[in-house]
Amino acid sequence: MRKALFILLFYVIVVNLFGQQQDTLGQRNDSLPDRFYIIQKVERDGVVMPEIEIREVTIIANSSRRSAEARDYRRNERLIYNIKIAYPYAVIARERLTQVNIDMEAMESERERRNYLNEVEKKMFAEFKEDLMKLTITQGKILIKLIDRETQNTSFELIRDYRGRISAAFWQGIARLFGTNLKAEYDRFGEDAEIEMILQDIEAGRL
């Protein structure tokens, strides 16, 4: 099952090779900002010593509300983590498509275009195989949505346009086995609004 998921995700990215301009990909910090304390110098009995002010902590019994808030917090943190894993691949995909389209426009025959796509596919496979094998199913589902966000095309449309309807239908069937949909559209004002807010924070360097 994991191998089939990798093949599916690889095909979504590789055959959907896309681009525009690449941001500083790979240079963003994938971890949460470090929490820190300010060390102050305090003189006591003629000796200057470092001192940290620690706020008072009150411990109370868990309530259902606090438990729900904790669950929401953990879910949000997990979503942020998964988006940070998947987002760079969507940006790479966006990056490659423009270049592929530019290259293919200069080709005169369909055979030349087909050979070109096969060659690019092999190179992408070698480049991203190990990384894609590490993606979880949840991260794969997010990636499919982000591909639509970055390219303005669903993964199904991209596979159909570059590999034909039969290939698109085949990979759509594989996607369904994993509970996802290559035709999934990114809805930044609807069900994907939370993802969009997180992405805006990532792009602004706040996450």
Q: Of 21-30, 139-148, 156-165, 192-201, where does mean pLDDT reach its minimum? A: 21-30
20 pLDDT more than 50: no
Kind plus residue range of the DSSP H or E element containing 52: strand 47-52
Cβ(157)–Cβ(195) under 8 Å?
no
Q: What angle do CA 52, 56, 59 make, to 5 degrees?
A: 135
Determine the Cα–Cα distance for residues 194 and 115; give it in Å rounded to an integer.
41
Residue carrying structure tokens 């979504």: 12
Q: Would the pTM count as exceeding 0.75?
A: no
The conformation of residue 47, written as its DSSP 8-state character, comes to: E
Cβ(66)–Cβ(120) under 8 Å?
no
Q: Of 18-22, 82-86, 133-137, 196-200, where does mean pLDDT reach its minimum? A: 18-22
| CB neighbourhood size of 16 (10 A) | 28
For residue 207, the model assigns a pLDDT of: 87
